[in-house]
């Protein structure tokens, strides 16, 4: 995978050469350089700030992944940039409005815990459902847990299994593990050794895939 040259990417803001590349290319390589450099103490605002400016420029062009990334950035902060939960919340709202499932899930977390806004359990649950329907594996896992425990939703094991299975299909290891254990011990479902073994095998495959992905980063 060929990357945009580092110096050329840094110059994009000053020369407005966004039309030369797709937003996806610019975002992908900006994130790569930013993540690679931010742990090194000799890179600070002068260098990393340029990448944040690129995120902001992409955000102004309604590129939702950049808005989501800015939401995370202002939640975590950097050495020269203090966390600002209100700004973080606003970026996630903008990203979610553009259909970003990850941002929708963050809004669930923010409303559930009061980050950047008031705690609102009903709104939190609604955002989690929107995120799940938009394809967030974490939100699908939550939906399974809500229905399994009767927390935020009426207890319904059939719906819990369906949501856990959707999360598992999306690669959520916790959901796959949960299903394996449920079928192994007959918790909430009829005990089924064959299904338990199938989910346990899938869990191993998902964990191995995750490790390969981490090694390749």
Please tell us whether the domain made up of 137-217 is placed in CATH 1.25.40.10.
yes
Closest CA to 129 of 113, 142, 120: 142
Distance of alpha carbon 20 from alpha carbon 148, whole angstroms: 50
CA distance 163 to 194: 20
The Cα 9–Cα 162 span in angstroms is 44
Residue of higher predicted confidence among 134 and 38: 134
Q: Which of 3, 60, 1, 49 is nearest to 26 (CA)?
A: 3
Integer Cα distance of 96 and 131 in angstroms: 9
Q: Where do the structural domains in the chain lie, given as residue ranges?
A: 137-217
Per-residue model confidence as pLDDT tens digits over 160-181: 999 999 999 999 999 999 999 9
Q: Is the pLDDT assigned to residue 20 strictly greater than 70?
A: yes
Share of the chain above pLDDT 90, in %: 78
Does pTM surpass 0.95?
Answer: no
pLDDT band at 1 (very low <50, low <70, confident <90, very high): low
């Amino acid at each position: 995978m060929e990357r945009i040259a580092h110096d050329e990417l840094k110059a994009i803001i000053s020369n407005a050469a966004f039309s030369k590349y797709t937003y996806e290319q610019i975002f992908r390589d900006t994130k790569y350089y930013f993540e690679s450099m931010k742990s090194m103490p000799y890179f600070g605002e002068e260098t990393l700030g340029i990448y944040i400016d690129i995120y902001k420029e992409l955000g102004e062009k309604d590129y939702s992944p950049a808005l989501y990334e800015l939401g995370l950035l202002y939640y975590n902060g950097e050495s020269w940039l203090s966390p600002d939960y209100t700004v973080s919340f606003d970026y996630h709202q903008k990203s979610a409005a553009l259909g970003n499932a990850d941002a929708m899930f963050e809004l669930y977390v923010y409303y559930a815990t009061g980050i950047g806004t008031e705690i609102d359990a009903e709104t939190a649950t609604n955002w989690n459902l929107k995120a799940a329907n938009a394809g967030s594996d974490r939100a699908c896992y939550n939906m399974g847990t809500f229905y399994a425990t009767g927390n935020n939703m009426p207890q319904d094991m059939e719906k819990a299994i369906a949501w856990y299975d959707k999360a598992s299909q999306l690669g959520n290891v916790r959901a796959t593990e949960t299903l394996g254990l449920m079928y192994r011990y007959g918790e909430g479902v009829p005990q089924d050794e064959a299904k338990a073994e199938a989910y346990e095998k899938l869990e191993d495959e998902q964990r191995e895939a995750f490790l390969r992905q981490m090694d390749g980063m």
